[in-house]
Chain A
Amino acid sequence: MNAAVLKTEVRLFRREPGALFWILLFPTLLLVILGSIPSFRGHEADLGGLRTIDVYVPVAVLLGLIVGGLQAMPQTLTGYRERGILRRMSTTPVRPSALLSAQMLVYGGAALASALLALVVGRLAFDVRLPEQLFGYLLALVLAVLVALALGAVISALSRTTKIAGAIGSAVFFPAMFCAGLWAPVQTMPDVLARIVGYTPFGAAAEALNRAAAGDWPGWTHLGVLVAWTVLLTAAASRWFRWE
């Protein structure tokens, strides 16, 4: 880790209006749009008495970190490699890995900020209760950020060019969002499907966040699935990543 590199990457991130919008604002904007539909604010027996807007807060929380980790970060990192930026840094006393860790901190931080914004807006605008099991919620959230960054690192490792990174990022984005519950929240999925989705990184994250939001412990199985994916994906990324 290098402070000057981190400072520079934060500054550069602030110059990317696209990334700022899609990571920080879009998830909350989506929440506001959904919350404006009157029927989404009514209690549903299907959802165990919750309102649709209640179950979409965790989806919005996951959306920011999926966009940041799977789409934005791999494009940036692949571009840094493609354009020789990592290579130039290799000739200085600072290792190019400083750039990688700075990128992860920037996108991880942005994902957490996006999650916080979604929670606060959900609470203030739509009266969605803040997570009751706060520690469990934060733990699940941090693990979800880590798994998104690890998956993003694998995409960066496998993509030779930014175009490929963009294509793989989008291909992974939709299944990831499906598992996170964008089209149908995990609670409404048929049992078998919900069970399968629960073993995917973002399905497990969605389940863990939902439980913690309701005041239960996120469940060791879900947390374990997140940890296992993070370890596996990190190992894969460090195995395949090329500096040039």
Chain B
Amino acid sequence: MSFIEVSDLRKSYGGRPVVDGVSFAVEEGEIFGILGPNGAGKTTTVECVEGLRVPDAGRVRVTGLDPVADHARVARVLGAQLQESELQAKLTVREALQLYAAFHERPADWRPLAERLGLTDRLDARFGKLSGGQKQRLFIALALIGNPRIVVLDELTTGLDPRARRDTWELIEEVRAGGVTVLLVTHFMEEAQRLCDRIAVIDKGRIAALDTPAGLIQRSAGATVISFTPSAPLDEHDLNALPALASAEHKDGRLTLSGTDATVNAVITLLARRHVTAHQLRVVDATLDDAFLDLTQEATA
């Protein structure tokens, strides 16, 4: 049995389908990412997992429990960090941690958690006085304070500076190493690529692709990118004849081609045949960014 099961989930607001038949399963100990453009239905999907919304149709199970009907039992195993959800402005960080710890039967010790999230010197500060990044770190602490078996993080590192972002990623990896299953909503590719074992790309309420980060990149049309400045212009016709070419771009005399390994080989052969030198030749794997744009564009077309 999967830890989280979502099958054919549907939810509309005012007749407009926001989640339109989403299915996926998350295994224990996995970091599972949900990636998608704004308004794709990511948050609504995880809100159904958290039991905050009642699906119109479909089935959601968290450790075999229905998050709506068995809300109390699901809340004991699932910690959530929500988007746009605050705390009482005059509550201090320490009081918030103590209060949320008191909600759970076997809470984590909040002191090391606060230490790990760099909140120790802000324990007596009121919530209303915290910076955006500090608020975000407090929310992550509150999601973890109940020692959950599953943690759902919605836009985890929004508002964090690069240093705090990397620290938070390390923390999430530690949390997973401790056996916690992570469901991560993000629109931040680097984060998804670094953390996730598998990613579901959601676009317009449907799953556009579900694979490992490497798998998503591979399956996109332009998985490999080759760029160089040719010593002499190349014939358009030759370029278009390249095998598995996904795109070709000229900019300031520099040529950027994307395709597969076969494209790369053919380019090198072509250059040799035409006696053209490739200056500053770079061959790189496409990033998740490219794959994402490719996948979500496909769905639009």
- Determine if chain A interacts with chain B: yes
Are A12 and B82 neighbours in the complex by a CB distance under 8 Å?
no
CB distance from B270 to the nearest CB of A (A): 57
Interface centre among A12, A85, A91, A94 (most CB of B within 10 A): A91
Are B99 and A91 neighbours in the complex by a CB distance under 8 Å?
no
B36 at the interface (CB under 8 A from A): no
Question: Which of B18-26, B100-108, B199-207, B239-247 makes up part of the contact surface?
Answer: B100-108
Interface centre among B76, B79, B90, B104 (most CB of A within 10 A): B90
A87 at the interface (CB under 8 A from B): yes
B123-158 interface (Cβ within 8 A of A)? 142, 146
One of B72, B82, B99 near A4 (C-beta < 8 A): B99
Task: Kindly list chain A residues whose C-beta atoms are within 8 Å of the C-beta of B223.
Answer: none
Type the 1/0 row for B43-79, where 1 means its CB is closer than 8 Å to any CB of A.
Answer: 0000000111000000000000000000010011011
Are A8 and B78 neighbours in the complex by a CB distance under 8 Å?
no
One of B50, B52, B75, B95 near A8 (C-beta < 8 A): B95
Report the Cα distance A85→B90, complex, angstroms: 13
A15 at the interface (CB under 8 A from B): yes
Interface centre among B75, B86, B88 (most CB of A within 10 A): B88
B113 at the interface (CB under 8 A from A): no
CB distance from A25 to the nearest CB of B (A): 20
Are B95 and A88 neighbours in the complex by a CB distance under 8 Å?
no
Chain B residue nearest to A15 (CB atoms) is B90
Type the 1/0 row for A92-105, where 1 means its CB is closer than 8 Å to any CB of B.
Answer: 11100000000000
Report the Cα distance A15→B76, complex, angstroms: 31
A84 at the interface (CB under 8 A from B): yes
A12/B103 contact (C-beta < 8 A), A88-B82, A91-B80, A92-B146 known: no
Report the Cα distance A94→B102, complex, angstroms: 9
Report the Cα distance A88→B75, complex, angstroms: 11
CB distance from A82 to the nearest CB of B (A): 9
Task: Kindly list chain B residues whose C-beta atoms are within 8 Å of the C-beta of A92.
Answer: 75, 100, 103-104, 146
Are A8 and B91 neighbours in the complex by a CB distance under 8 Å?
yes
Type the 1/0 row for A1-23, where 1 means its CB is closer than 8 Å to any CB of B.
Answer: 01011001001100110000000
Report the Cα distance A84→B85, complex, angstroms: 4
B84 at the interface (CB under 8 A from A): yes
One of B52, B103, B104, B146 near A87 (C-beta < 8 A): B52
Interface centre among B72, B86, B98 (most CB of A within 10 A): B86
Report the Cα distance A72→B103, complex, angstroms: 26
Chain A residue nearest to B77 (CB atoms) is A93
One of A11, A83, A90 near B86 (C-beta < 8 A): A83
Task: Kindly list chain A residues whose C-beta atoms are within 8 Å of the C-beta of B87.
Answer: 85, 88
CB-CB nearest 3 A-B residue pairs? A84-B85, A4-B102, A91-B80
Q: What would 22 A/B residue contacts be, using CB atoms closer than 8 Å?
A: A2-B103, A4-B98, A4-B99, A4-B102, A8-B95, A12-B88, A12-B91, A16-B90, A84-B85, A84-B86, A87-B52, A87-B85, A88-B87, A88-B142, A90-B52, A91-B51, A91-B52, A91-B75, A92-B103, A93-B75, A93-B103, A93-B105
Task: Given contact pairs A8-B91, A91-B79, enumerate 13 new A-B contacts (beta carbons under 8 Å).
Answer: A2-B102, A4-B98, A4-B102, A12-B88, A83-B85, A84-B85, A88-B86, A88-B142, A91-B52, A91-B75, A92-B103, A92-B146, A93-B146
Give A residues with C-beta under 8 Å from B: 2, 4-5, 8, 11-12, 15-16, 80, 83-85, 87-88, 90-94
